[in-house]
């Protein structure tokens, strides 16, 4: 399996699949916001940023998958998936154990050199409350689904990183 993951990490297809999967999840988030009229909270916006990081990792890895640049993609992938998992877990705890003393911010705080909420307010401006559960599917809230999604992204990223020293088997006509 590790040889297979190494082989996949050296091709553009797997990296583009990673980027497309994160893009599809972003489109679902925008569907929830603009079509279903659900209000994203600050934690939701930060979780979106983590998904954009995973999408960026897929793009970086797809640029030159056979070069050491893929290690930059893997590092960005692990960081974004780990941060997304941490944010989704904290958000889940806010929803499962609401408290008037532990709340999320009123507005997302982006660095002054990257004011995403000013550049793209329809995507990065928070209007909801972190403790409100707005959507549920198969008894799990949206944020609980994100915990699972980010955990899967992180697990696969770590496995791909572990697989890097395992060179793919060379196959020739005589199977040597």
- Domain holding 24: CATH number? 1.20.1550.10
Flag whether pLDDT at 20 surpasses 80: yes
Q: Is residue 172 part of a domain?
A: no
Q: Is residue 176 part of a domain?
A: no
Instruction: Give the whole-number percent of the chain exceeding pLDDT 90.
Output: 26
Is the distance from CB of 58 to CB of 16 less than 8 angstroms?
yes
Q: Is residue 6 part of a domain?
A: yes
Q: Phi/psi of residue 17, each to 5°?
A: -65, -40
For residue range 122-149, list pLDDT tens digits in order. 777 777 676 677 777 787 787 888 899 9
19 or 167: which leads in pLDDT:
19
Q: Is residue 174 part of a domain?
A: no
SS3 (DSSP) at 165 = coil
Q: What is the pLDDT of residue 173?
A: 54
Q: What is the pLDDT of residue 114?
A: 77
* Integer Rg of the chain from CA: 19
Q: Is residue 55 part of a domain?
A: yes
At 169, the pLDDT band (50, 70, 90 cuts) reads: low
Q: Is residue 169 part of a domain?
A: no
Q: Is residue 170 part of a domain?
A: no
136 or 47: which leads in pLDDT:
47
For residue range 61-72, list pLDDT tens digits in order. 888 888 888 889
Tokens of 111: 């660095």
For residue range 48-106, list pLDDT tens digits in order. 899 999 999 999 988 888 888 888 999 999 999 999 999 998 888 887 777 766 667 77
At 165, the pLDDT band (50, 70, 90 cuts) reads: confident
Catalytic residues: 41, 44, 48, 104, 130
Domain region containing 44: 1-108+115-164
For residue range 108-119, list pLDDT tens digits in order. 777 778 777 778
Q: How many domains does the chain have?
A: 1
Q: Is residue 65 part of a domain?
A: yes
Residues 117-147 as b/e (b if ≥16 CB within 10 A, e otherwise) read: beeeeebbbbebbbbeebeeeeeebbbbbbb
**Averaged confidence pLDDT in the chain:** 82
For residue range 23-42, list pLDDT tens digits in order. 999 999 888 888 888 888 88
């Amino acid at each position: 399996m590790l040889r297979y993951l190494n082989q996949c990490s050296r091709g553009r297809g797997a990296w583009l699949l990673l980027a497309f999967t994160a893009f599809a999840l972003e489109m679902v988030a925008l569907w929830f916001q603009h079509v279903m009229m659900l209000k994203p909270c600050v934690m939701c916006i930060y979780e979106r940023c983590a998904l954009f990081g995973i999408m960026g990792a897929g793009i970086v890895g797809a640029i030159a998958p056979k070069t050491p640049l893929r290690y930059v993609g893997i590092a960005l992938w692990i960081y974004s998936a780990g941060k997304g998992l941490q944010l989704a877990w904290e958000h889940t705890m806010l929803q499962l154990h609401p408290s008037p003393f532990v709340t999320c911010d009123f507005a997302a705080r982006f660095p002054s050199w990257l004011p995403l909420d000013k550049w793209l307010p329809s995507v990065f401006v928070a209007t909801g409350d972190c403790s409100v559960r707005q959507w549920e599917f198969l008894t799990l809230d949206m944020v609980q689904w994100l915990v699972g999604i980010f955990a899967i992204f992180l697990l696969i990223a770590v496995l791909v990183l572990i697989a890097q020293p395992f060179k793919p088997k060379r196959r020739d006509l005589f199977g040597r």
